[in-house]
Amino acid sequence: MRFDVVTLFPEMIEVPLRTSIIGRAVEAGLISLGIHELRDHGLGRHRSVDDYPYGGGAGMVMRPEPLFAAVEPLRAAGANVILLDPAGERLTDALARELSTLPHLALVCGRYEGIDERIRTLVDREVSIGDYVVTGGELPALVLIDAVARLVSGVIAEASHEGDSFAAGLLEHPQYTRPEEFRGMRVPPVLLSGHHGEVNAWRRREALRRTRDRRPDLLDAAALTDADRAALEEMTRDA
Ligand code: 4HQ
């Protein structure tokens, strides 16, 4: 899979993507990356990429010409073009999985207070990482790339994302490693029992409990079995 990123701050993109799991996937050729500095397409002697808003008001607006110049060749090369923007559709596990089936994404990172509205005609879709405001599209682009790239075959063990909390529609169950006791806190005995059936039943129950306690909205959409409903019923009676 290929990712191209159009940005005013290429170093914000470079360093995270050559680090850790994604860095290794790039080295291994599972993922390829292109980083495109928008300033290269800036206008005039100052290579300007922004200007004052028509109609007045605070803040600057990104001009369309540099963005069109940077993105059109990527579109011509077959990329699906995505603008990171708070007005976009929300990035979810389902959207990450859908995007991971595409061969080529180009991510457009904005800066300043906004973009010229005509830039939206240049993109296939707009994606938001959540209802808060960050100073530029670079961190959202990195979040999207990380969430999508880890689903590309070979980047991580397949089993690691089949069980992802959101894939199952539930939050993850609690996990423990050594030591068996830490500052008086013990690992639940069932996990030490070696009974795989009981371990799996406990994990499912604790995933249900955590989801009910922290994200009941997810529970409504999750595919629950009769056994799940019975377990939830029992928990509600007990505590
Ligand atoms: N932005 N999800 C880029 C965001 C954002 C988000 C605000 C987009 C600033 C320049 N992007 N502009 N949330 O907060 O994607």
Does the pLDDT at position 165 exceed 80?
A: no
Ligand 1 midpoint to CA 75 (Å): 22
Report, as an integer, the average pLDDT of 62-86.
98
239 pLDDT above the threshold of 70: no
Dihedral-angle region of residue 154 (phi above 0 means left; psi in -120 to 50 means alpha; beta otherwise): left
Q: Is the pLDDT of residue 148 over 70?
A: yes
| Residue of 164, 172, 205, 228 with catalytic role | 164
Tell me if residue 164 is catalytic: yes
Dist. CA 29–CA 97, nearest whole Å: 20
224's tokens: 């629950």
Which three-class secondary structure state does DSSP give residue 146?
Answer: helix
Q: What pLDDT does 164 receive?
A: 79
Q: What is the model's pLDDT at position 57? A: 96
Over residues 55-69, the mean pLDDT reads 98
CA of 84 to the centre of ligand 1 (A): 6
Q: What is the pTM of this model?
A: 0.96
Q: How far apart are the first and last CA of the chain?
A: 47
* The predicted structure's pLDDT at residue 161: 87
User: From the CA of 107, how far away is ligand 1's center (Å)?
Assistant: 12
Exactly one of 65, 86, 126, 215 is catalytic; name it: 86
Coil, strand or helix: which one is 93? helix
Q: Taking Cα atoms as reference points, which of 83, 76, 89 lies closest to residue 38?
A: 83
Q: Closest by alpha carbon to 209, among 219, 220, 200, 199?
A: 219
Q: Is the CB of 138 under 6 A from ligand 1?
A: no
Tell me the domains of the chain and their CATH numbers: 2-158 (3.40.1280.10), 163-238 (1.10.1270.20)
- Cβ of 59 below 6 Å from ligand 1: no
Query: Which whole number is the average pLDDT over 137-157?
Result: 97
- Integer Cα distance of 238 and 234 in angstroms: 6
Query: Is 51 among the catalytic positions?
Result: no
